[in-house]
Amino acid sequence: MTLAASRGDGRTGENSTANTRTISNLPKMLRDGPWTEGWTEVRGEVYIPLPAFHEMNRQREADDLPTFANPRNTTAGSLKLLDVNEVAKRPLRFWAYTLLTHEGPLAQNLDLRLHSERLLLMDEMGLPMVDWQMARNVEEVQAYWQDLQDRRDELDYEVDGVVVKVNDLRFRDELGVTAKSPRWAMAYKFKARREITTLLAIKHSVGRTGAVTPYAELEAVNIGGATIRNATLHNEDEIQRLGVAPGLRVVLERAGDVIPKIISLAPDEDRTGEYTPPTVCPSCGTELVQPPDEVIRRCVNISCPAQKRGRLIHFGSRNAMDIDGLGEKTIDLLLEKELVNDPGDVFALRPEDWSSLPGFKERSVSNMLNALTAAKDRTLDRLVFGLGIRMVGEGAARALAKRYKTLDALREASPNVEELESIEDIGSKIAASVAEFFSLERNLTVIEKLRNAGVSFGTLPASADVTDHPAFSGKTFVLTGSLDSMSRPEAKRLIESLGGKVTSSVTKKTDVVIAGLSPGSKLDKANGLGIEVWDEPRFVSELRDAGVEPESI
């Protein structure tokens, strides 16, 4: 084994090779076989068996150490520990669930078009395997799911459902993926675990955009190994629908064995409650407003302490600027000492500012300064997301970064709402929000602070090594049918390298459909909509005109 990495945010993970080597059931070398020449990449999951988890907690209790809450969080935290010897004490285990890549002499003699063949090969290699089964129809899927759910409490590991996958990888290529998940796989969850507890109070949190969200404070209850004390209530309408109020007993569900949610009053609860929504912000006391098209109330005070805190936490978060060490506790210390007001202030802090914080010694200050220096070179999509523009999630931030290339270009284009709406993944509400953000002087002030600090305003993601070409740049392509000269993933990569975008469905926004052998209904739809169609020779010709040669030709 040469490298073990976490999936991270889907783009950037963490190298956890040293810690992963301590996992007792994970071989450090594959069994002897034809696969030992070359390299193999597998994906899997690290977990802690329940009996081992309980024994570990019993030992910690005997040693007068704090016990762990649940196996899931303990596993994730263990892989991030800096002390390998401490990790080795944790009863971590590994399961492989897919063979992603094998490159070597064996690859030429393998036909791994079926996922099941890849699973069998990993078993031959000596890797610990996840439990799996082939299903020929929906009824067999249902039977497997039901059997596992019936045995759920007898298993020695935590599980909240099964994953159903298309076996033939060629069909996976045809189905494609969405921004969040593949179309060729689905999670078939078990029924959520439920318990009854008492609602102690309805409280309210204020988000970074001023949204005031109610949540329930509960009498502590254990569900699936986790102690639950709070649960979301979403909004006023949900509270009225549930009829909940302090003092009433409620049914609590841990959806997906992760998110706690109140689903109803307890069956024997014969009362309903009245809820009076807040009229002022619980953080700053400003009168709340409720926009006509929204179900939530908002605090419009830009100086609201809770909003300020939320914006700073969001800016430094892993999926945004990923500033290592700038977590909630550090931000609370900075705010307490009034050292920062907005994200632009973070980069202006001097070493003596950091050393004035409790717990920040010389090494901590050095690490923080290094983290801030590294954050100055984050990609543009991360910066756009980190700015906290309302309604702009990671996908929209990537779309805006890809279109405008620099923050200044995005700011200049922002008043043109129609132009913004023409971008894939940018609807009218997002476009209006972007326009409003860049029209406010306070936001421009933050941007100038970031510029003066040397934060990059024009870095594209490292994966997007794009050389624009007029035949491809800014156009949306759909691939259908099989290509002789290259695989579909290679075709997608080449199109994107020339500034194009590949989607899986034909719509009015599609510019070109590339039709290979047996193209199917996508070609019919393209012809019906009058969309330009390229056959494979035309596609290869356009690639060559752009100076690109498919690897397999």
In a domain, 446, yes or no: yes
Same domain, 429 and 489: no
For residues 10 and 274, the model is more confident at 274
The secondary structure element, H or E, covering residue 274 is none
pLDDT bucket at 9, cuts 50 / 70 / 90:
low
Residue 46: is its pLDDT beyond 70? yes
Closest residue by Cα to residue 280 from 302, 297, 268, 265: 297
In a domain, 314, yes or no: yes
Residue 553: is its pLDDT beyond 50? no
Residues 6 or more apart in contact with residue 71 via CB below 8 angstroms? 47, 48, 49, 50, 53, 157, 158, 225
The total of structural domains in the chain comes to 5
**pLDDT recorded at residue 10:** 61
Same domain, 256 and 355: no
Question: Cα dist. 111→29, 42, 461 in Å?
Answer: 23, 17, 34
503 backbone dihedrals φ, ψ, rounded to 5°? -120, 170
Positive or negative, the Cα torsion across 423, 427, 431, 433?
negative
Q: What is the chain's mean pLDDT, rounded?
A: 89
Same domain, 74 and 87: yes
Same domain, 121 and 28: yes
Same domain, 245 and 315: no
Residues 6 or more apart in contact with residue 470 via CB below 8 angstroms? none
Same domain, 126 and 47: yes
Same domain, 371 and 384: no
Same domain, 41 and 119: yes
SS3 480: strand
pLDDT digits (tens, 9 = 90+) for 292-311: 888 889 999 989 999 999 99
Closest residue by Cα to residue 420 from 431, 404, 430: 431
CB 475 within 8 A of CB 501: yes
In a domain, 280, yes or no: no
Question: Cα dist. 98→39, 121, 167, 177 in Å?
Answer: 15, 10, 11, 17
In a domain, 286, yes or no: no
Range of the domain at 319: 305-375
Same domain, 261 and 336: no
For residues 299 and 540, the model is more confident at 299
Same domain, 358 and 384: no
What is the spatial distance between Cα 371 and Cα 377, in angstroms, rounded to a whole number? 11
Q: What is the DSSP string of 288-343?
A: PB--TT-SSEE---TT-HHHHHHHHHHHHSTTTT--TT--HHHHHHHHHTT--SSH
Q: Which of 336, 357, 375 is the last residue of a domain?
A: 375
Same domain, 215 and 197: yes
What is the spatial distance between Cα 283 and Cα 249, in angstroms, rounded to a whole number? 28
CATH code: domain of residue 516: 3.40.50.10190
In a domain, 147, yes or no: no
In a domain, 334, yes or no: yes
CB 499 within 8 A of CB 466: yes
Q: What is the DSSP string of 375-398?
A: HTT--HHHHHHHTT-TT--HHHHH
The secondary structure element, H or E, covering residue 502 is strand 501-503
**pLDDT recorded at residue 52:** 96
Positive or negative, the Cα torsion across 78, 79, 81, 86?
positive
Same domain, 246 and 312: no
Q: Which of 375, 392, 423 is the last residue of a domain?
A: 375
Least confident segment among 96-105, 303-312, 444-453: 96-105
In a domain, 117, yes or no: yes
Least confident segment among 143-147, 227-231, 326-330, 499-503: 499-503
What is the spatial distance between Cα 213 and Cα 398, in angstroms, rounded to a whole number? 28
Q: Which of 89, 108, 132 is the last residue of a domain?
A: 132
CATH code: domain of residue 426: 1.10.150.20
pLDDT bucket at 100, cuts 50 / 70 / 90:
confident
In a domain, 110, yes or no: yes
Q: What is the DSSP string of 15-52?
A: B-HHHHTT-TTS-SSPPSSGGGSSEEEEEEEEE--HHH
